[in-house]
Amino acid sequence: MSFSPDEQGACWREKYKIVPHVLKELKNIGTLAAAFNVNVDSVVKISGRELADYIKKLEITPAELEDDSKRAIDNPKDIFRGVFRCFTAGIAEEWIAADAELRRWMEDNLGLKKLQMGAQAGIIANTLSLTDIQKIVVHTACLPKTQADCFYRRNNLLSFDENGKLRPAFAIDRPNEKAPVHWIIEFSKDDRLDIGGKTYVCPKSNRFIATYDPALFNLQINPNFADYTEREPVDIVILSGYQALSEKNNGLYHLEKTLPLIEKWRQKKPRPLIHLEIASTQDLAVREQIARKIMPLVDSCGANEREAADILEVLGFGKAAESCRRQPNAENLLLAADIIARQTSCPRIQLHTYGFYLTLQNTNFPLPPANNLNGMLLAAVAAASKAREGRLAAPVDITAAAGLPPSAVGLQTVKELAALINDGSFASTGIGSYKDRNIIAVPAIIIDRPQTLVGMGDTISAFSLVGAAAIRP
């Protein structure tokens, strides 16, 4: 079956009309738990001219700028080496600073200006609290007032006070703890960097994250959160926070100590759906253990195209990883999802990239393909709304982008997938079969000049899953 671009677009605009209904269905979710990482983000917008000024001030040589031998922050030069890498490629990465002196340098030179909720668990908990999910329990290793002020004033958004009591997170102050701060350095598409006689044009709005977070480096688990999620009914658990671990700082040990808790969730009856949000993990040994030890235990994983390539790399599929990095098109993303699913035995893999989302799941997965499609449509609207408005701060914000057309690049990618799986109708339905799995795809909505990209992948994965899980027969 062949569709003109106008006909295909009309089909998808019709599908998007279900989003307000899906959003209302989130009232069917009783408890969602979000772990492990919550922090304060200090958001810094940097222009090409400002980046050039930092490079000159720190006397960073062209050879140092282009050195890709390590992706970690040992000195201030490394911060702007990372920004340069991400600015010139239009990519997002997170690098770890392990020295408290670097935090002080960033406070003095980058400042503490625009403070907001950071990290996957924190962003997901805040955003989903704007829905009618009955209870969102968020893990916090540190919760002084600075951190509590970043939580939305929502009574369904809960954490644990210094006495272990479950209370609205915004009202808690554990005064003996220090809030971790991550610097989110954002840059804009088409901005120019002139340095060393060369001109670089940023191909895509994105960000570089510089992280100093001792609680996260040690993956401190709040015993009150662990006890609560082991005892009480929980419908969904969303996990992240492994990306800050490193082998040289006992990261493999800290990763291992979370396995018993995940196993206890798996043994509960009824058993929660467990989703792992992959993040930019620079330590290869930690990344490999995420793939080989965490992913086989969870029900679902979410990643962008670069994170998927990183997982392929540690699984031993370097050629597929390079293809995914170089050209994240329909063929390479489908191959990536298939390899990751088979190598890790994770039942559901969701990839998100520019203008397009793809889910590959086992045929016996508890959430049927139609549910997943509707959850992905909700996620596309929520993510576009976040990009357009700068954040989701009120329930009405979630559907601010409703009615905007699906992207041309997304429509074309779904069409290419239809050809790959030899199913012409897939271009307009988004549901089909690939080998022995269900495949679901959605052309997303693109905001050309986004206000922010922080937490975009978290928003996509979280809304996709909860939207799919909330729909009742």
User: What DSSP assignment string belongs to 238-299?
Assistant: EE--GGG--GGGTHHHHHHTTHHHHHHHHHSSSPPEEEEE------HHHHHHIIIIIGGGSS
Instruction: Give me 230's structure tokens.
Output: 């082991």
The 10s digit of each residue's pLDDT in 214-244 is: 888 889 999 999 999 999 999 999 999 998 8
The 10s digit of each residue's pLDDT in 418-461 is: 999 999 999 999 999 999 999 999 999 999 888 877 778 889 99
- What's the helix, strand, coil split of the chain in %, to 5? 45, 20, 35
For tokens 């890498």, what's the residue? 85
Q: By residue range, what is the domain housing residue 97?
A: 42-116+178-213
Q: Are residues 439 and 320 in the same domain?
A: yes
Q: What residues pair up with 356 in beta bridges, in sequence order?
A: 353, 443
Quick one: pLDDT at residue 240? 94
Contacts of residue 312, defined as CB under 8 A and 6 or more positions apart, other chains included, come to 318, 320, 321, 324, 336, 339, 340
Q: Is the peptide bond before 36 cis (omega within 30 degrees of 0)?
A: yes
Q: Are residues 165 and 68 in the same domain?
A: no
Is the four-CA dihedral 465, 470, 471, 473 of positive or negative sign? positive
State the pairing for strand pair 39-45/181-187. parallel
Task: Answer for the pair 447, 372: CB distance below 8 angstroms, yes or no.
Answer: no
Is the four-CA dihedral 103, 106, 107, 109 of positive or negative sign? positive
Quick one: pLDDT at residue 217? 85
Q: Are residues 302 and 197 in the same domain?
A: no
The 10s digit of each residue's pLDDT in 276-335 is: 999 889 899 999 999 999 999 999 999 999 999 999 999 999 999 999 999 999 999 999
Q: Are residues 245 and 391 in the same domain?
A: yes
Q: Are residues 406 and 450 in the same domain?
A: yes
Task: Identify the residue with better confidence: 406 or 453.
Answer: 406
- Work out the angle between the directed axes of helices 330-344 and 408-420 (0-180°, nearest 10): 60
Q: Is the predicted pLDDT of residue 49 greater than 90, yes or no?
A: yes
257-282 mean pLDDT: 95
Question: Length of the chain, please?
Answer: 473
Total number of domains constituting the chain? 2
Q: Are residues 15 and 110 in the same domain?
A: no
CA distance 337 to 441: 12
Q: Are residues 362 and 329 in the same domain?
A: yes
CATH number, residue 238: 3.40.1190.20
Instruction: Give me 240's structure tokens.
Output: 């992240």
CA distance 27 to 3: 37
Q: Are residues 154 and 84 in the same domain?
A: no
pTM of the model: 0.87
Average pLDDT score over the chain = 94
CA distance 258 to 202: 39
Task: Answer for the pair 425, 3: CB distance below 8 angstroms, yes or no.
Answer: no
